[in-house]
Amino acid sequence: MNKIIEKAYAKINLALEVMNSENNYHLVNNLMILIDIYDELEFEIDNDTFIVDDKIDDNIILKAAKLFINEFNINSGVKIKLNKKIPQAAGLAGGSTDAAATLRGLNKLFNVNASNDKLRDLAKKLGSDVPFFIGCNLAMCTHYGEVIEKLDINFKEFNLLLLKPKFGLSTKEVYKNYLYDNISKSNKIKNILESLNKNDIEMLKENIFNDLERPVFMISNELFNIYNDIKKISNIYLSGSGPTLYIINPKEEVINYIKETYNDCFIYNTKTIKIY
């Protein structure tokens, strides 16, 4: 029986500019990059469409599978196995990347040969972060995040230390507490892109920003305290709507301090990755 295995990589944000809301969604300039933490999905043709041992209500993977099958008038279902490694509600887009991996996997399983542009059009129906995970290592995601400008920058991969507290944060709640300051971050974004082009890590560290920091730290005093503590000894940034924090090219003494001090958190050594 034909099986397809697809890796669903997580992301971090190097820049997240959040502007006014429109139709109940905020306009964004969101610079995202793939990192080497991934879920693994296995797809096999079946009579029904289901996920083995699925315990998630309203599962985005199942939505993606049904959307694909309906779109291309496929007369069979699919059995999906998920090996989950990306932490949930972490600001790493674990659900979005799984949904995109489902579209990519079924495209291969059923030999549809749909283009990336077609898959991105489908992905938009599943969530604003989902289109990024169709064929991008690095991209500027605009409008609500679903308009993708793939960036073919030959950046040098860099190491990351991720720290995720055991609690999650609601993206909806974070955005509800956000107030736009009307200050353009276009210069910072320009500097980040220049730093990636030049492989200038110090310049990159100086310009990374996330407009959701303020509402996230308003909601979670615990995360705010962790952030401020680590900031005394290292660069540290928030990914997405949190609560995952990340450090670029961490020094050994910083890694040791974090592992000793925050041993109740999930800590991951990883790196950025180029796969497309």
Residues forming the active site: 11, 129
Phi–psi pair at 25, nearest 5 degrees:
-125, 140
């003494």: which residue's tokens? 253
| Contact predicate 203/190, CB 8 Å | no
The C-alpha atoms of residue 274 and residue 10 are separated, in whole angstroms, by 12
CB of 246 closer than 8 Å to CB of 236: yes
Alpha helices in 40-145 (DSSP H): 60-71, 94-109, 116-124
Task: Tally DSSP H helices, then E strands, for the chain.
Answer: 9, 11
What's the CA gap between 31 and 138, in Å, rounded? Answer: 7
CA distance 23 to 39: 32
Instruction: Give CB contacts under 8 A, 24+ apart, made by 177-183.
Output: 177/215, 177/218, 177/219, 178/18, 178/26, 178/211, 178/212, 178/214, 178/215, 180/18, 180/19, 180/20, 181/211
3-state secondary structure of 91: coil
Structure tokens at 231: 């900031």
CA distance 167 to 179: 24
Residue 269's closest CA among 107, 254, 261? 254
Counted residue by residue, the chain has a size of: 276
